[in-house]
Amino acid sequence: AKADGRSTFRFFEPGMDARLQARRALELDLRKALVNQEFELYYQPLLNVATRRVTGFEALLRWPHPERGMIPPDAFIPVAEEIGLIVPIGEWVLRQACAEAAGWPEMIKIAVNLSPVQFKNKRLVETVVEVLQETGLDPARLELEITESVLLHGSAGNVAVLQELKDLGIRISMDDFGTGYSSLSYLQKFPFDKLKIDQSFVRELSDRPEAMAIIRAVTGLGRSLQMLTTAEGVETPEQLERLSREGCTEVQGYLFSEPRPASELARLLACGTQP
């Protein structure tokens, strides 16, 4: 009965082992996926509210797992971040997205998500410069989306990195705006080009007057600080109508298109004109 710690632990928590094994398997699969180039990028259009024209696309990572089917990014990016694998994966995303976008019409922008973990890599700016040179993409067509966690306490180094990126002519967007702890103070730390209003506010637009008030405040803030405002997760014409009335500058969501492979670019570019 008084067995060593290990077997006691196993005896009382049989599920633990299975979870740990599943996690190890996922880590191994992720490393293999990078080597075997299993990842894909899907693209979701962003539209100008006034013109209803596509202004750019957000690149969203997809992992068609050979045995388990499509694994959503929320299910593997946190693991990739914990084991540091998000650095090479993020570099692949950036290179792939910029290479693709370099072949698109010139006014179309490409938005790429950056993990806070990528900022721990000393070579982040160098990598971005390299990718821009390799692909020939005009830096003015690249937008990097970051979350406020990049600006958390003691992040003077990250602010400097963001400024270096901005000095290259790249635009910087604040993603998931309004979901963090003290979003407003972050707006003083760095001059963002764009605020992406989190989809949770858009979802509640019709049910909660508070959501409308918050969106009104954020678009007003954007105007005063000369930042564009993009609403995410727009699914209904009613939401679009309200966002438009509040002076939101850009929209993104299933109302126009889900994220799709680059092979569907022609249809994606036209998605605002077919209601």
Residues that bind Ca ion (CB under 5 A): 113, 145, 175-176
Among 54, 103, 91, 63, CA closest to 262: 103
| 3-state helix/strand/coil string of 8-73 | HHHHHCHHHHHHHHHHHHHHHHHHHHHHCCCCEEEEEEEEECCCCCEEEEEEEEEEEECCCEEECH
Rounded Cα distance between 177 and 228, Å, is 12
Which residue number, 89 or 132, has a Cβ lying nearer to ligand C2E?
89
- Residues at the interface with ligand C2E (CB under 6 A): 44, 60-61, 72-74, 77, 90, 93, 113, 115, 175-176, 199, 232-235, 252-254, 259
DSSP 8-state code for residue 78: H
Pair 195, 229: CB distance under 8 Å:
yes
Which residue number, 259 or 272, has a Cβ lying nearer to ligand C2E?
259
The one of ligand C2E, Ca ion, none whose footprint includes residue 259, by CB under 5 to 8 A per kind, is ligand C2E
The one of Ca ion, ligand C2E, none whose footprint includes residue 244, by CB under 5 to 8 A per kind, is none
Q: How far is the CB of 39 from ligand C2E (least distance, A)?
A: 9
Q: How far is the CB of 191 from ligand C2E (least distance, A)?
A: 21
Which residue number, 113 or 249, has a Cβ lying nearer to ligand C2E?
113
Q: How far is the CB of 3 from ligand C2E (least distance, A)?
A: 43
Q: How far is the CB of 114 from ligand C2E (least distance, A)?
A: 6
Pair 227, 172: CB distance under 8 Å:
no
